[in-house]
């Protein structure tokens, strides 16, 4: 029998605030037990949940691992705008004029993540080729 990924764990300065941001990003929710000031919070999500753990150290280098998001019900551009409105920042724009590429964003604590094209956008590009 193999193992399954239960949680993806992210160190942070404020677990509740960062967990709340990611719950909005993923249109999900925090665990019913989580409260402001808790040192750990869990974003419940299909597949692996995101577990945020408060640590005293600040982020100092580029992430060694990051999440790649694929919007399900909107375009990549719409998703980037939504995430910027939630408090993300654009770190590196790798979107290309032909519609390919991705956008690198950072959450409120500076953890980088990418927004890729939606499945519909990928299908449209493949059909155009």
Laid out side by side, the sheet with 103-106 consists of 67-69, 112-115, 103-106, 89-93
Distance spanning both ends of the chain, measured CA to CA:
41
What predicted TM-score, i.e. pTM, was given to this entire model? Answer: 0.88
Q: Which residues of the chain have pLDDT under 50?
A: none
- Which of helix, strand or coil describes residue 67? strand
Taking each helix axis as running N to C, give the angle between helix 76-86 and helix 15-25, from 0 to 180 degrees, rounded to the nearest 10: 150
Q: What is the pLDDT of residue 103?
A: 97
The per-residue pLDDT for 47 is 81
Give residue 1's pLDDT. 66
The rounded distance, in Å, linking the Cα atoms of 5 and 123 is 29
The pLDDT score that the predictor gives to residue 16 is 98
Per-residue pLDDT, 112: 94
């Amino acid at each position: 029998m193999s193992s399954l990924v239960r949680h993806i764990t992210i160190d942070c300065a404020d677990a509740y605030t960062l967990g709340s941001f990611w719950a909005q990003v993923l249109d999900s929710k925090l665990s019913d037990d989580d409260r402001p000031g808790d040192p750990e919070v869990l974003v419940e999500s299909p597949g692996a949940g995101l577990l945020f753990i408060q640590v005293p150290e600040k982020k100092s280098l580029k992430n060694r691992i990051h999440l790649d998001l694929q919007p399900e019900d909107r375009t990549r551009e719409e998703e980037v705008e939504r995430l910027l409105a939630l408090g993300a920042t654009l770190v590196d724009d790798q979107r290309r004029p032909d519609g390919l590429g991705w956008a690198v964003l950072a959450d409120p604590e500076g953890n980088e993540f990418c927004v890729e094209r939606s499945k519909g956008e990928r299908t449209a590009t493949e059909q155009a080729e």
